[in-house]
A and B are shown apart, each in its own frame.
Chain A
């Protein structure tokens, strides 16, 4: 059969991973990945930008804390197909979403760094912390998987923008390097992702994803380019699984990671129910945090018309992995309103803000059309303080809030929002009720 060059059929060969270890050669066997640290360092080296690069390992259950976390990436490699994984960051091989990948399931590449030049306001990295064990671990992204941690130190004179670009290259190269150990191996399981035609009476559903885009350090990449001027457009869900979206947003610690984009919970759930309960048409992406009320309303209509023109009857809406909270809630509500007014029924997943005892209003905006909301609970919700840890990766001090002085990173720590907390809360099944 002739090959269809425009197909979106993605096979994922899954290699379970339980342990990573440093060794003389990089090799995958029986759930263990041995890593040649020198070879990996040579692959990642960009001495003119990154003066020093530490590589650490962190496993679940260890008394270990990872600080200044910027992103988490799933280790995967394209073994057959027209694009690379994380396409756009490895030349112009695109579009993604077709062919065969190998994925190390149960592992992530983390990147940690502090930027060379001062930053301010929205365009600043917020402290993001992972505890690999203890009471906070269930609320930290990647605390339940094996992590290769890159700690990057900038070369003198490097700008934040140049350093940031190098961090993206380093984390994505490392993710591909690790998975490449499996290219010659036969995967124990293969998952196939394809939107096959389904029974005509199933509701036609799209997933609407509002991306975080404000500027350097608060942005999301689509095929290697920031989404500042992005008008709502269509993605095949396979493009997301294949890494077409890469995170460059370091604002709130609860933010989406690249890992969360490639494992987006609504994409996976709609795929699971495609052909059974729903007819999954695809994904509409657009950026939130528009600059004015007019642009926020426009964003809603521009998104709704794409959904409608795709033939959608239902739109599942989230802001990345549930990260509504600031002024993007207005864009979000306008999207719900416009979809409903154009005859596309909505269900939206949201986080709730407010204070720890829940006695504050938890949303900053609301439209009457938002009559079907799913909550992942309150981000101010108290979780137990974490005890001191034996080992810290990524830095020696932490500053969870600008109102606090930096303090010892290994000591006891009370943090309400850990790294990737919104994603974790969604997967844990947390919600909130009137009480």
Chain B
């Protein structure tokens, strides 16, 4: 028989047997072997894995010292060398869920597989499912401890052994923003009419796509004095220098480019091309200023309406862009703008 896999379990102070809210300020401590629900967990692991240690921290302490706790937990992992980390389950306890999610994310970053469990309405689920964490769906309270731990143990063993993982429905985890194309063996039209009949009859059916709602982006506060403001032009229009030197694609861009417009009064036709595949580029080629209005901004600059226009134009292609890639591109461009003291951005849409 192969050696049992090594599990490090994380619990909050309540489940770690240190009492309730008063103990929420407990700093990180490590205890050898399983504690509290860890004993049930070890049963569920059925000898294939052993809980070698339990890390315990108060939820309040974690919330107030998150980065420090993460550092300490990482140090414990270095010593304990776990094959897999298991956290919780946190059920619907919000602060506990946030702690479990963060620690699992840190473990994954260190290439230690991690599994936690939460109720779908736990704020930790909202925050960490998009990070692709494995979060077993649980009841809202500890009434559901045993089934939660059984599923968490089963998934943790598969992950520790690097075995193929089933779908969310098969394994019982919450959708983690990863889609896998599969064969159903039944044409889409047949499935669609079957679903329509069930919906019509009021019978239960499962939509094949349940979509996350998009986050709301709050606008930045208004500029107090535009005439003192450094303004930048950032565009997803795919307007690039002739020859497309940065090889921006016509769709699904994963990078961006910057081009100097220093000393230019306007963008000159022929010096620019539009590689964006999602709109008719004819007008943009005839007069690039109609998609990136450098001419208008120079006029505002001369009139003193805006302080100054940044010397560089930032460009990517928005067509069929992946949200994750666009978030990263946006963050990278924003960091550059902030570093250069830009206070306002014009984002001409296509």
Contact = CB atoms under 8 A, between A and B. Distances in A.
Interface of A: 120-124, 126, 203, 205, 214-215, 265-266, 268-270, 273, 277-278, 313-314, 316, 322, 325-327, 345, 347-350, 352-355, 357-363, 366, 370-378, 380-381, 401-403, 425-435
Contacts of B331: none
A378 B192 contact: no
Contacts of A431: 181-184, 188, 191, 208
B178 A373 contact: no
Given A326-B319, A403-B249, A358 B180 contact: yes
Interface string B268-284: 00000011111111100
A237 to B, nearest CB: 13
B285 interface: yes
B57 to A, nearest CB: 30
Contact of A374 (B177, B192, B210, B325): B192
Contact of B188 (A265, A326, A345, A355): A265
Contact of A360 (B167, B208, B323): B323
A64 B249 CA distance: 28
Contacts of A123: 280, 282
Interface in B169-186: 169, 175-186
B212 interface: yes
A425 B195 CA distance: 18
B277 A122 contact: yes
Chain B interface extent, by class: 35 or more
A358 to B, nearest CB: 4
A333 B37 CA distance: 45
Given A345-B196, A429-B191, 19 more contacts: A121-B282, A265-B188, A278-B196, A349-B189, A352-B179, A357-B178, A359-B132, A359-B178, A361-B323, A372-B195, A375-B208, A402-B250, A402-B277, A426-B187, A427-B187, A427-B188, A428-B183, A429-B188, A434-B210
B143 interface: no
Contacts of B190: 269
Contact of A350 (B166, B209, B212, B214): B209
B46 interface: no
Contacts of B182: 377, 430-433
Contacts of B250: 121, 401-403
Contacts of A366: 211, 213-214
Contacts of A428: 183, 187
A345 B183 contact: no
26 contacts: A120-B281, A123-B280, A126-B277, A314-B200, A322-B188, A347-B195, A353-B322, A354-B179, A354-B322, A359-B177, A359-B324, A360-B325, A361-B214, A366-B213, A372-B195, A375-B208, A401-B249, A403-B250, A425-B188, A426-B188, A428-B183, A432-B208, A432-B209, A433-B179, A435-B165, A435-B180
A205 B211 contact: no
Contacts of B282: 120-121, 123
Interface of B is mostly: loop
Given A349-B188, A360-B325, A430-B182, A122 B193 contact: no
Contact of B175 (A124, A355, A434): A434
A31 B229 CA distance: 75
Contacts of B189: 265-266, 268-269, 349, 426
A363 B214 CA distance: 10
A429 B209 CA distance: 15
B200 A203 contact: yes
Most B Cβ at <10 Å: residue of A266, A349, A375, A425: A375
A269 B167 contact: no
A403 B320 contact: no
Given A347-B199, A361-B323, A378-B179, A120 B168 contact: no
Nearest to B276: A121
A266 B185 CA distance: 17
A358 B196 CA distance: 27
Contacts of B213: 366
